Amino acid sequence: MVAARRRRRLGLAMVTIAVVGVCGCSEIEETETPYPVEVTDIPGSDVKRVTLETEAARRIGLETAAVGQEAGRKVIPIAAVIYDPEGEAFAYTSPKPLVFVREKVRVDDVEDTRAWLSEGPRAGTQVVTTGAAEVYGSEFEVDH
């Protein structure tokens, strides 16, 4: 009787493992999606265009703000400024929703949470303030 119970328990355990294994595999296959970013060359430039899917932008908490103009100078949130390995400063502009292009900026001064620029995007241009590091990583395919 004890041996019969052990065989039944072992049989039930093997069925459970098989079902979990099959369900686990099919679940992974069903949720697999292509990478949620497209990186394309911009002819005549070493900069690439980064296009995010809506869900990818939501996941990284992507936010933008407009380049301002005060006292004759451009101003952006300091969070929009990123630096490459050589120490060059950039900001990601957004020429249209979910599309981003890295543009060189020259930071003259930093005051609180703002960076004053002598070079950079036109006033009114949208720049990435939250998620710029992730866009940069996507442009250079750091996480692939």
Worst-scoring range by mean pLDDT, 2-11, 14-23, 69-78? 14-23
Residues forming beta bridges with residue 130, ordered by sequence position: 63
Mean pLDDT in the chain?
83
Whether the predicted pLDDT of 59 surpasses 80: yes
Between 97 and 18, the higher pLDDT residue: 97
Give me the percent of the chain exceeding a pLDDT of 90.
71
Report whether CATH 2.60.120.650 matches the domain 37-139: no
Each residue's pLDDT tens digit, 77-91: 999 999 999 999 999
The answer on pLDDT for 8 being more than 80 is no
* More confident of the two residues 19 and 142: 142
Side-chain half-sphere CA neighbours of 31 within 13 A:
6
Which residue intervals of the chain are DSSP H helices? 2-31, 54-59, 132-139
Q: What is the mean pLDDT of residues 55-83?
A: 96
- The pTM of this model reads 0.74
Per-residue pLDDT at 9 exceeds 50: no
Looking at residue 56, its amino acid is A
How far is Cα 98 from Cα 102, in angstroms, rounded to an integer? 13
Q: Is the pLDDT of residue 65 over 60?
A: yes
* Mean pLDDT computed over 24-29: 45
